[in-house]
């Protein structure tokens, strides 16, 4: 019996009472949770405490009515009332252990659900300028963003992961001048991009266009800029691929500034017209403004300056409306620690566009540093993703970055990430999976199969605890998706691995010595394989491999 099945059985008992009293009760209002101590049973519910007042009774009296009816439900061994009206439930061993077979039969689908079915989410993250390599800050957002996308999909949402390429604006011209200067052997222009990577880009541009230095500077800068941009963006894509991070859409900011051949208007022009039609655009001081203060922003925002130059906010507005036009009711932005000011303006923009600002989620990430990491030789003053991958590997990086909330500053120990000890959570979890695979191989060699499943035999305390942990997985995934918090999956896997290791030490899947193979061995193999499946499923949600051998 899963917690969802128990909640459904409980709802069936209390719903008629609620209906008779005119109380509106939904299935999601009736939940069960783990008691703090397993001595109090497998599950507990506070439904009697929630419903007593609207039903005109007291919690313990209502609990006393519900308890015998709940105890009569198939698969429930005992029901007890505790404290002011908590109901503690103990499942029969067979009913609890049946989850192992359900997991193995469901395979990769176990834990996936429909809690967020019908949600269409645009998830934008990383979105680094294509003027240099990805660094450790981008690395954190890449790990978190991709994990959030995977978890949202597991909960039934339709997700489009999107990278916004900041390939317009003055920084691109500065980038082009920096590459051209490097090609000429000249010093980096003031305010330009330094670093060996610019020298490398310049050399690659010259390979493609050997005549570059013979061209007029204004023409050469454009060629250097565009070719270096193409090369650098390709390197960014390659770095993300190596990190197992993939985007459905790469959206170029340039397209927002490019006039439509038929109308001569840009997406930014159209965005201004649409906001103006909503009544939120005005002119003052020779500039064009959006009255975002009407929607909680700290100040109104400029769309076009007095000199006719459009602002970054104008591009943000056009980009937001592009997402809206593409059918994304829900939009999630993952922004860096230096972007706190964007939250208010983005929500105000959503409201000005006629949308519910609550459908826009902005997650702000805190800084991360990694002890022992060396600055990039190519970029000089940053720690590059490529160097981190070479030093630590994708699994360690992704796991450690996913196991902390986005809003917590991180200071990681590089040597700990590399260690092969139980103090390293990613090793601890991956080793648990490798151990399940080893047990399965040894079982096959010994002739232990899954031809029999007798969950009532899984009565050892470590089995009870392990089964309880397995039952939690679907709810952990759904909750992590609702909150956009991948760390909940990582921490769950660590807890599950701990239960598994303790079970492995206490219960044998393989017969000992000349002991004959029995149904308990066969049933334990189901449980072993179920744990391996859940660890695989969970690691996949945070983009980490599940090795069969370590």
pLDDT, tens digit, for every residue of 407-442? 888 888 888 889 999 999 999 999 999 999 999 999
Give the total residue count for the chain. Answer: 550
**pLDDT at 315 (0 to 100):** 95
Q: From CA 507, how far away is CA 120, in angstroms rounded?
A: 45
CATH of domain 421-541: 1.10.730.10
Instruction: Tell me what pLDDT residue 42 has.
Output: 82
CA dist., res. 325 & res. 332, Å (int): 15
Residue-wise pLDDT for 142-163, tens only, equals: 999 999 999 999 999 999 999 9
What gap in Å lies between CA 282 and CA 272, rounded to an integer? 10
- Would you say the C-alpha torsion 202, 208, 213, 216 has a positive or negative sign? negative
Q: What are the tokens at 154?
A: 């597991």
In this structure, are residues 511 and 500 in contact, taking their beta carbons and an 8 Å threshold?
A: no
Q: Which of 49, 14, 139, 32 is nearest to 96 (CA)?
A: 32
Work out the number of other CB atoms within 10 angstroms of the CB of residue 19. 11
For residue 186 the two structure tokens come to: 């000249």
Supply the pLDDT for residue 392.
92
Mean pLDDT of all residues in the chain?
92
User: Where do we find the tokens 């598994």?
Assistant: 500
Banded model confidence at residue 270, pLDDT cuts 50, 70, 90: very high
- The beta strand positions in 52-113, using DSSP E, are 76-82, 86-91
pLDDT in tens, 76-131: 888 999 888 889 998 887 878 999 999 999 999 999 999 999 999 999 999 999 99
Give pLDDT, residue 83: 87
Ranges for all domains in the chain classified under CATH 3.30.1360.70: 3-91
DSSP assignment of 402-413 equals: HSS-TTS-EEEE
Assign 301 to helix, strand or coil. Answer: strand
What is the rounded average pLDDT of the residues 282-302?
A: 94
Burial 436-455 (b: 16+ CB within 10 A, else e): bbbbbeebeeeebebeebeb
- DSSP reduced 3-state for 363: strand
Domain(s) of CATH 1.10.730.10: residues in the chain: 421-541
Amino acid 90: pLDDT = 87
CATH class of the domain comprising 3-91:
alpha beta
pLDDT score of 369:
80
Over residues 64-85, the mean pLDDT reads 89
pLDDT over threshold 90, residue 368: no
Q: What angle do CA 325, 331, 335 make, to 5 degrees?
A: 130
Q: Give the end-to-end CA distance of the chain in Å, rounded to a whole number.
A: 34
315-355 pLDDT, tens digit per residue, is 999 999 999 999 998 999 998 877 777 888 999 999 999 99
């Amino acid at each position: 019996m899963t917690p969802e099945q128990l909640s459904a059985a409980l709802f069936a008992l209390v719903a008629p009472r609620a209906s008779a009293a005119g109380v509106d009760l939904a299935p999601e209002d009736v939940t069960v949770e783990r008691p703090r101590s397993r001595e109090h049973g497998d599950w507990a519910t506070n439904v009697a405490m929630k419903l007593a007042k609207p039903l005109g009774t007291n919690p313990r009296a209502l609990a006393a009515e519900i308890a015998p009816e709940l105890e009569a439900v198939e698969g429930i061994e005992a029901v007890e009332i505790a404290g002011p009206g908590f109901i503690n439930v103990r499942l029969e061993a067979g009913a609890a252990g049946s989850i192992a077979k359900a997991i193995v039969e469901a395979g990769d689908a176990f834990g996936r659900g429909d809690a967020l079915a019908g949600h269409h989410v645009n998830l934008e993250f990383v979105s680094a300028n294509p003027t240099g390599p990805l660094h450790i800050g981008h690395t954190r957002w890449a790990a978190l963003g991709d994990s959030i996308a995977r978890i949202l999909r597991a909960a039934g949402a339709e997700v489009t992961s999107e990278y916004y390429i900041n390939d317009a604006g003055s920084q691109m011209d500065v980038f082009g001048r920096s590459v051209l200067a490097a090609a000429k052997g000249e010093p980096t222009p003031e305010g330009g991009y330094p670093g060996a990577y610019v020298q490398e880009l310049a050399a690659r541009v010259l390979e493609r266009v050997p005549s570059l230095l013979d061209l007029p500077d204004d023409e050469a800068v454009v060629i250097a800029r565009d070719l270096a941009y193409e090369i650098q963006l390709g390197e960014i894509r390659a770095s993300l691929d190596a990190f197992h991070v993939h985007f459905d859409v790469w959206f170029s900011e340039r397209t927002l500034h490019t006039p439509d051949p038929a109308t001569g208007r840009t997406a930014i022009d159209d965005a201004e017209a649409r906001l103006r039609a909503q009544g939120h655009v005005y002119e003052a001081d020779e500039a064009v403004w959006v009255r975002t203060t009407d929607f909680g922003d700290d100040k109104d925002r400029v769309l076009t300056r007095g000199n006719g130059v459009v602002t970054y906010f104008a591009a943000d507005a056009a980009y937001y409306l592009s997402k809206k036009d593409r059918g994304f009711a829900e939009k999630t932005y993952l922004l860096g620690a230096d972007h706190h000011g964007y939250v208010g303006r983005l929500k105000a923009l959503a409201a000005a566009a006629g949308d519910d600002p609550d459908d826009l989620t902005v997650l702000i990430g805190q800084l991360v540093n990694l002890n022992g990491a060396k600055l990039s030789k190519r970029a000089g003053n940053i720690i590059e993703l490529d160097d981190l991958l070479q030093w630590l590997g994708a699994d360690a990086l992704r796991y450690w970055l996913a196991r902390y909330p986005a809003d917590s500053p991180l200071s990681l120990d590089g040597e700990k990430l590399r260690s092969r000890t139980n103090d390293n959570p990613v090793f601890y979890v991956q080793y648990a999976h490798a151990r399940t695979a080893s047990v399965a191989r040894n079982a096959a060699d010994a002739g232990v199969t899954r031809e029999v499943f007798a969950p009532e035999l899984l009565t050892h305390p470590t089995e009870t605890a392990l089964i309880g942990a397995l039952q939690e997985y679907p709810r952990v995934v759904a909750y992590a998706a609702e909150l956009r918090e991948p760390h909940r999956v990582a921490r769950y896997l660590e807890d599950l691995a701990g239960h598994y290791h303790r079970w492995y030490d206490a219960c044998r899947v393989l017969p000992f010595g000349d002991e004959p193979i029995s149904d308990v061995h066969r049933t334990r193999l189901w449980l072993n394989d179920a744990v391996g499946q859940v660890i695989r499923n969970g690691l996949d949600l945070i983009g980490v491999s599940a090795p069969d051998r370590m």
